[in-house]
Amino acid sequence: MVFPLELPLVPAPASATVGDGRLAITSTSRIQGSSPAAAQLAAAVERRTGLRLETAAEGPADIELRLDSGVAAAEGYTLRIDDRAVVTGDDEAGLFYGVQTLLQLLREDAGGWALPHVEIADAPRFARRGVMLDVARHFFGVDDVKRFIDSTSALKYNHLHLHLSDDQGWRVHIDAWPLLTERAATTSVDGHPGGFYTKDDYREIVAYAATRHMIVIPEIDLPGHTHAIGVAYPELVEEPVLNDALVADSERLGQPLPVAGETYLGWGVGHSSVRIHEERTYDFVRDVVRELAEMTPGPYIHIGGDESLGTPQADFDLFAERATAIVVAEGKTPVAWHEMGSAANIAEGTVGQYWGKTTPEGTHAAEAAHFVERGGALIMSAANVTYLDMKYTEDFPLGLTWAAIIDVRSAYEWEPTAVLDVPESAILGVEAPLWSETTRTLDEVEQLVFPRAAAQAEVAWSPREGAGRSWESFRARVGRLAPLWKAEGVDFHPAADIPWSER
């Protein structure tokens, strides 16, 4: 089996062989299938080529979509293209991912639009393949989030983590605590406009994500990153704790320091905490988790837990125990950043999200391992390779550098199971976060996300030792996604280390 570079596929499939010949796609080509993926395929072909293909639930066709639960593992598919194209999905998600592969193969040559003769069998390495969008530092509306879902699900991501609250703003309406969106959602970093999702907005995002086989994970960051809560409900939050690093960074960046009860326009961290010994705080957590759980069909609620620098460890431990128990009581699996693993009695089964570096520092590895000891598992988001908000180069106009400068090769060449001393089975998968301190628009988000999200998608989906799993192969293949991304309006960064194709 070979994996020729002429196959412009990202992530690389588990197996692929190329035959001679091409299947022409013209205005008379027909799609057959009753799956929603059939209509999605027709719409994408029209955006890409201008050709409007007929779709039908049955009858002869040039492209046929089928379901067969025995064809592959969950989310897997097969694709055979000769005198016609047949995509067979193990489930609806597999069929959707097979369609994304078909769209990447669709090319225009001297004879018009065509698909190469290939045979592909494919299924994901990791069940959990996620991206995160921070809508708290800067807010992004429903249409922007839908666009982000479209572009990332096309790379076979299946989880969208929405960072809905932070010091700078609260971004989802909660009926029991209405002042959160009335008073704490009006601004963003540097005084830029804010915003929030109504419950109908949030449900619309969740439903749209489901059509692209993405599970939404809402995050309310606690007990730190909670200054915005205090703007709405001062009785829930302690006075800001001004650490030396915060003061120095605020001076360097020309940003204000946090003031209790006032909206915070900087992006320093570690200064805020809810009042851990007030029972009212847990009424608040319970109400928020319950209302999010009611709107979120997916299994997870993320409760944060990172950078609580002003919270004494004993208080942090108490909060972690009670907050994770609240999530479990509402029928969801808690997810938390790895620092919450420092608490002895986090709820059993809590999932940890590791954001330390590929060479763990301090207590990070032990904190992450504690989730596994408590019957949970881990999501790998090593900051020095997966954080999509880091700069590509020192002089790149967007992004930060505190974790690393991450070029595309650095984003690609890492192994999620080699970072921590835990069983490989404890690694659920990979998530690539985009923090939004420096991004005001979705175009700016996309500049940071693409092409590095393609690198993380291949790390998460493709076999570790599979054909094509090398930097040289990847850089050639991702460069050939440029025409598709342009057709879909993705504002990717044309990184200099990638040979970008025009066709």
pLDDT in tens, 128-157: 999 999 999 999 999 999 999 999 999 999
pLDDT of residue 193: 97
Domain end, chosen from 63, 93, 122, is at 122
Extended strands (E) in 330-476? 333-337, 351-354, 378-380, 427-434
Instruction: For residues 138 and 118, state if they share a domain.
Output: no
Q: Is residue 494 part of a domain?
A: no
For residues 136 and 114, state if they share a domain: no
Q: State how far the Cα of 67 lies from the Cα of 432, in Å rounded to an integer.
A: 30
pLDDT, mean of residues 416-421:
98
Question: Does residue 275 sit in the same domain as residue 380?
Answer: yes
Residue 89 and residue 74: Cα distance in Å, rounded? 9
- Those residues with Cβ within 8 angstroms of residue 427's Cβ, 6 or more apart along the chain or in another chain: 126, 377, 378, 380, 416, 417
pLDDT confidence of residue 283: 98
- Indicate whether 316 belongs to any domain: yes
Of the listed ranges 201-205, 243-247, 350-354, 456-460, the least confidently predicted one is 243-247
Residues 371 and 282 in one domain: yes
pLDDT at residue 490, rounded to an integer: 98
Residue 503 lies in a domain: no
Report, as an integer, the average pLDDT of 295-323.
97
Q: Are residues 258 and 211 in the same domain?
A: yes
Q: And the tokens for 204?
A: 């619309």
- Asked whether the predicted pLDDT for residue 5 surpasses 90, the reply is no
Considering the domain boundaries, does residue 306 fall inside one?
yes
pLDDT at 72: 82
Query: CA-CA distance, 112 to 60, in Å (whole number)?
Result: 22
Alpha-carbon distances, residue 482 vs 48, 214, 451 (angstroms): 12, 24, 10
Same domain assignment for residues 344 and 411: yes
Whether 69 and 134 map to the same domain: the answer is no
Name the active-site residue from 119, 239, 278, 307: 307
Q: Summarize the confidence of residues 433-445 as an average pLDDT.
A: 98
**Domain total in the chain:** 2
Q: Is 97 part of any domain?
A: yes
Is 431 designated active site?
Answer: no
pLDDT score of 174: 98
Q: For position 163, what pLDDT does the model report?
A: 98
| Inside any domain, residue 486 | no
DSSP designation for 239: P
Phi, psi of 153 (to 5 degrees): -65, -30
pLDDT of res. 258: 97
- Are both 190 and 305 inside the same structural domain? yes
Residue 78 within any structural domain of the chain: yes
Q: What is the pLDDT of residue 2?
A: 47
Which of 122, 146, 177 is the last residue in one of the domains?
A: 122
Rounded to an integer, what distance in angstroms lies between the CA atom of residue 220 and that of residue 342? 19
Cis ω on the peptide bond leading into residue 11 (within 30° of 0)? yes
**Any domain includes 118:** yes
272: three-class secondary structure by DSSP: coil
The CATH number that applies at residue 286 is 3.20.20.80
Mean pLDDT of 449-464: 98
Burial class (CB in 10 A: 0-12, 13-18, 19+), 359: exposed
Instruction: Tell me what percent of the residues of the chain surpass a pLDDT of 90.
Output: 96
Residues 257 and 118 in one domain: no
For residue range 112-127, what is the model confidence (pLDDT) as tens digits?
999 999 999 999 999 9
pLDDT at 93 over 90: yes
What are 327-378's pLDDT values in tens digits?
Answer: 999 999 999 999 999 999 999 999 999 999 999 999 999 999 999 999 999 9
Tell whether 133 and 116 lie within a shared domain.
no
Instruction: Say if residue 56 is in the same domain as residue 73.
Output: yes
Q: Which pLDDT band holds residue 1 (cuts at 50, 70, 90)? A: very low
Domain that holds residue 32: 15-122
3-state SS string for 7-40: CCCCCCCCEEEEEEEEEECCCCCEEECCCHHHHH
Say if residue 53 is in the same domain as residue 136.
no
Q: What pTM did the predictor assign?
A: 0.97
68 burial level (CB within 10 Å; 0-12, 13-18, 19+):
middle
Write down which residue in 122, 139, 158 finishes a domain: 122
